[in-house]
Structure 1
Amino acid sequence: MEKKTVLYLPHELIIQILMRLPVKSLICFKCVCSCRGFILLYRPPNIHLWNPSTGFKTQIPVSPFDSKSIAHCHGFGYDQSRDDYLVVEFSHVSSHLEVFSFRDNTWKEIDGNTHFPYVVVPSQRKGFLFNGAIHWLAYRRDLKLNVIVTFDLMEKKMFEMPVPSDFNNGYLYSLWVFGEFLSLCAKDYDNDTIEIWVMKEYKVHSSWTKTLVLSIDAIPDHYFQPIYSTKYGDIIGRNHGTRLVKYNDKGQLLGQRSFCNSQSEVFMYTESLLSLLGDNEHD
Structure 2
Amino acid sequence: MPHELIIQILLRLPMKSLIRFKCVCKSWLTLISDPHFANSHFQITSKTHIHRLVIISTPNLKTRSIDFETSLNHDSACAPLDLNFTHDLSYFNVEIKGSCNGFIFMHSSSDILLWNSSIGVHKQIPLSPINSNLDDGCFGYLYGFGYDQSTNDYLVVSMSCDPALANISSHLEFFSLRANTWKEIEGIHFPYINASHDPRVGSLFSGSIHWLAFRHDLSINVIVAFDLTERKLLTDDFYCDPKNCDLWVFRGFVSLRGGCYS
What range is the shorter-chain TM-score in?
A: 0.5 to 0.7
Residue 15 of structure 2 corresponds to residue 15 of structure 1: no
Match of 1:65 in 2: 130
Q: Normalising by structure 2, what TM-score?
A: 0.58
Say if 1:40 and 1:95 are closer, same or farther in 2 by CA, change over 3 A. same
Sequence identity percentage: 43
Match of 2:41 in 1: none
Q: Please identify, of 50-59 and 167-176, the stretch whose mean Cα deviation from structure 2 is larger.
A: 167-176
Asked whether the 8 Å contact 1:171–1:186 carries over to 2, the reply is no
Which letter does structure 2 place at the counterpart of 1:116?
P
Say if 1:43 and 1:140 are closer, same or farther in 2 by CA, change over 3 A. same
Residue 185 of structure 2 corresponds to residue 116 of structure 1: no
Q: Normalising by structure 1, what TM-score?
A: 0.54
Q: Choose which of 226, 230, 240 in structure 2 pairs with 1:155.
A: 230
Residue 249 of structure 2 corresponds to residue 180 of structure 1: no
Which letter does structure 2 place at the counterpart of 1:15?
T
Say if 1:39 and 1:13 are closer, same or farther in 2 by CA, change over 3 A. closer
Say if 1:176 and 1:64 are closer, same or farther in 2 by CA, change over 3 A. same
- The equivalences for 1:46-61 within 5 A come to 46-61=111-126
Query: What secondary structure is seen at the aligned counterpart in 1 of 2:99?
Result: strand
Asked whether the 8 Å contact 2:114–2:125 carries over to 1, the reply is yes
Question: Using the alignment, how far apart are the partners of 1:170 and 1:16 within structure 2?
Answer: 30
Question: Using the alignment, how far apart are the partners of 2:205 and 2:118 within structure 1?
Answer: 22
Which letter does structure 1 place at the counterpart of 2:227?
D
Which letter does structure 1 place at the counterpart of 2:103?
F
Q: Choose which of 151, 157, 160 in structure 2 pairs with 1:82.
A: 151
Match of 1:105 in 2: 180
Residue 92 of structure 1 and its aligned partner are, at CA, apart by: 1.9
Residue 44 of structure 1 and its aligned partner are, at CA, apart by: 3.0
Asked whether the 8 Å contact 1:99–1:109 carries over to 2, the reply is yes
Please list the CA deviations of residues 246-283 of structure 1 after superposition, one character each: whole Å capped at 9, or x if unmatched.
Answer: xxxxxxxxxxxxxxxxxxxxxxxxxxxxxxxxxxxxxx
Q: Cα RMSD over matched residues?
A: 3.3
Residue 85 of structure 1 and its aligned partner are, at CA, apart by: 0.2
Please list the CA deviations of residues 117-163 of structure 1 after superposition, one character each: whole Å capped at 9, or x if unmatched.
Answer: 11137556111111111111011111001101111000000110122
Unaligned runs of 5+ in 1: 1-9, 188-194, 198-207, 209-283
Residue 201 of structure 2 corresponds to residue 135 of structure 1: no
Unaligned runs of 5+ in 2: 1-55, 70-76, 80-93, 163-168
Higher RCO (CA < 8 A, seq sep 6+): 1
- The equivalences for 1:1-283 within 5 A come to 15-18=63-66, 21=67, 30-66=95-131, 67-70=133-136, 71-93=140-162, 94-120=169-195, 122-123=197-198, 125-163=200-238, 167-169=239-241, 172-187=244-259
Say if 1:183 and 1:22 are closer, same or farther in 2 by CA, change over 3 A. closer
Question: Using the alignment, how far apart are the partners of 1:171 and 1:141 within structure 2?
Answer: 15
Asked whether the 8 Å contact 1:95–1:113 carries over to 2, the reply is no
Asked whether the 8 Å contact 1:121–1:137 carries over to 2, the reply is no
- Relative to its length, the structure with more helix (as a share) is 2
Which letter does structure 1 place at the counterpart of 2:182?
W
